[in-house]
Amino acid sequence: MSVEQMTSTARSYDAVPYKDYPYPFAHPRNLEAMATLFGMQAPDISRCRTLEIGCAAGGNIIPQALSLPEATFLGIDLSERQIDRGKRLVEELGQTNIELRQANLMEIDESWGQFDYIISHGVFSWMPSLVQDKLLEVSARNLTPNGVAFVSYNTFPGWHLANVVRDLMQYHAGKFEDALKKIEQAKAILEFLVGLGDDKRACGKLLKDELDILRKVDSDAYLFHEHLETYNSPLYFYQFMERAEAAGLQYLADADFSTMLLQNLPPQAREPFGRLPLLQQEQYMDFIRGRRFRKTLLCRREVELRRNITAATMKQFHFSLTAPVAFQNVDIRNERPVEFTAGDGKLTTTNRVMKAAMLLLQEAQPRSLPFAQLYAAALARAQQTRPLTPNDPDATPDGLGGALLQGYAIGMLEISLHPPRWVGVAGQRPQASPLARLQAAHGVLVTNLRHMPIGLDPLSQRVVRRLDGRHDREALMPCVHEAIAAGEVCVRDRDKPVADPDPALLAGILDKSLGVIAQSALLVD
């Protein structure tokens, strides 16, 4: 990248800093699990060395470093403004296992050493081709022998449609110099055209769909860097893999396992595509889905992978639900089918031990349970209702492992080797993570210990700020009074407003808030 190009890119991110968030799929925890799933001896994340390229202000890498205190982390970004903001946060937190550095990707060479995990989320598509090749070169040369590289990028065919919107915005807002004016005009032209109500034509529907996406994101920075940056170069998955393979890398997996499975396609597509090599399968699935963004995991070319995932493979993991599940009439005494649903995912099982396991995971949600513990507890619960015979497939570890694999395949379950540690019940003097306390003090989304952004209600935000492990419930009660005085909490008893609530009612409000905070995975030991 030339000095001029580097300066231009850095200025755009200094002018409009990107809102950086934690991304669970880009945590070493997920990369370690996916590598293990496909037969790799993945580096132990508890002592790993991780590099994030394009770390912005550290919203993704700082919580990673906090969650893995014996590992080391390095984040680089071109934007001095964002790096300085991240450094201030690191200093406030007193972290010593992370370094944030303003640096150019083109500077990375052998002297930087090797990393177990290399993460580059949301940067590849926004680089000139030469720099993209450098990123792939670094992802190969600076990766440990069993390391994993994460690269996300915009992809076709979905971006063929999105490029129409980008071209519109570039054409309309291109005459303005000021970044904020560009954003204002880009939004104005899109909203104006959508307001014409011509969504019966293909182009009108496209504009409306894109506006819906932008409204959900609710971020001017996203619009600016997605549609108004000089560089945004989507490519097909097969084109990306050709370049990755030329750099000495091979395809490991998608960071979201459920997207890889033919079983999640229409039935008539599964058999013909199932005969194709893996990379061709992936490309055809992109065509079917109109995919516009990919999160690809890569490893070194010489690593031997195991693509045949069996029930036995699942025994090494911890399991948790991705979200609470809904179900009706679960009877673990018989083999009648039961349907568990969460969002768009549906899991139907007749396996009595799996039924019991899903109930146990729902009770533990969102905490993780190791396979051995989950199997023993589920088997015991099923045996209490009606004994299982030793040769009953439901009674075997493989029987449960296969059923759990089905739940993971549809995105209903998460797997990990080193699950996050957090406290699920508020004790006498609860303590929130130091990062959550700082974020709550600034009134922004807080990052929980599952590496997810969490929005808190005003009272819980006040409470989190004081959860330093030194305040008992009596000392936390002023938070409730402050929230009531600010109009953030309306005290009700039997659905009627209470002007002068008694202490028991106020204590109940505080306990409810602490329960929300605990279940949001914000409390530490």
Q: What is the pLDDT of residue 104?
A: 95
The predicted-structure confidence for 514-524, as pLDDT tens digits, reads as follows: 999 999 999 99
Mean pLDDT of the chain: 89
Reported as half-sphere exposure (CB side, CA atoms, 13 A), residue 251 has a value of 22
pLDDT category at 3 given cuts 50, 70, 90 is very low
Task: Mean pLDDT check: name the lowest of 49-53, 377-381, 487-491.
Answer: 487-491
Contact (CB, 8 A) for 284 and 296:
no
How far, in Å, are 229, 322, 475 from residue 468 at the CA level?
A: 42, 28, 11
Contacts of 439 (CB under 8 A, 6+ apart): 445, 446, 447
Instruction: List the domains of the chain with CATH numbers.
Output: 3-156+234-300 (3.40.50.150), 158-228 (no CATH), 312-416 (3.90.930), 434-519 (no CATH)
Distance CA(357)–CA(336), nearest Å, equals 16
The pLDDT of residue 218 is 60
Instruction: Tell me if 453 sits within 8 A of 72, measured CB to CB.
Output: no
Confirm if 20 and 65 have CB atoms less than 8 A apart.
Answer: no
Specify the pLDDT at position 194: 77
* Residue 198 pLDDT grade (very low, low, confident, very high; cuts 50, 70, 90): low
pLDDT band (50, 70, 90) for residue 373: very high
- pLDDT grade, residue 14 (50/70/90)? low
Q: What are phi and psi of 52, to 5 degrees?
A: -115, 125
Q: What are phi and psi of 346, to 5 degrees?
A: -135, 130
d(CA 309, CA 226): 37
Average pLDDT over residues 495-509: 82
Q: Tokens 């194709």 sit at which residue?
A: 276
Name the helix (H) or strand (E) containing 253. Answer: strand 249-254
Pick the range with the lowest mean pLDDT from 179-188, 207-216, 271-280, 394-403. 207-216
- The mean pLDDT of 495-510, rounded to a whole number, is 82
**Which segment of 150-159, 270-279, 284-293, 487-496 scores lowest on mean pLDDT?**
487-496
Per-residue confidence (pLDDT) for residue 1, from 0 to 100: 44
Residue 456 has pLDDT above 60, yes or no: yes
> Can you give the pTM of this predicted structure?
0.89
User: Which pLDDT score is estimated for 200?
Assistant: 66
d(CA 511, CA 477): 10
**What's the pLDDT tens digit per position in 309-327?**
999 999 999 999 998 899 9
End-to-end alpha carbon distance in the chain: 46
**ω into residue 453 within 30 of 0, thus cis?**
no
In this prediction, residue 362 carries a pLDDT of: 93
Per residue in 126-157, pLDDT tens?
889 999 999 999 999 999 999 999 999 999 99
What's the CA gap between 328 and 144, in Å, rounded?
Answer: 48
